[in-house]
Amino acid sequence: LNCCAFNSFRFLVKGGLAGAAVYVAYDQGLLGSGIEGAEALKKAQETLPPAIQEWTDYLGWEVRAAQLPATPKIDFSLSASWNKGVHTVMGALSAAPSRACEYTVEGWKYVKDLMK
């Protein structure tokens, strides 16, 4: 009984963390359009270095600016990448019925050759 309660508690904690992560991603605009995602990424790049410095100061760690890695520069269009991915997936889905027919014909030929 104790093990079952512990597993249920772990499941609830993991589910709560996953739900919170989805909420934060939605709240920050990461699940919106490509433009909203690019704006959220830009905001994170501006916010992270000062936040890291604040935490290191709070914890009493001495971290010089030279010790912190530079924020990576991302130079690509998030909306263009998203659109390319959508086009690729939709192209594969539209070709799936004809490919399935081709593979079925090839499979039947292979089975007939094995029966000979």
- 59 with 34, same domain: the answer is yes
Model-wide pTM > 0.95 = no
Task: Centre a 10 Å sphere on the Cβ of residue 69 and count the other Cβ atoms it contains.
Answer: 7
**How many domains in the chain?**
2
Our CA angle for 79, 37, 72, nearest 5°, is 95
- 64 with 100, same domain: the answer is no
- 64 with 82, same domain: the answer is no
- 16 with 57, same domain: the answer is yes
Residue numbers of the domain that contains 19 = 1-68
- 9 with 28, same domain: the answer is yes
- 27 with 59, same domain: the answer is yes
**HSE of 85 in the Cβ direction (CA atoms, 13 Å)?**
7
Across the chain, which has 116 residues, the per-10-residue mean pLDDT values are 74 86 77 72 73 73 59 65 79 86 90 87
- 102 with 55, same domain: the answer is no
Please tell me the predicted confidence (pLDDT) of residue 78. Answer: 64
- 64 with 84, same domain: the answer is no
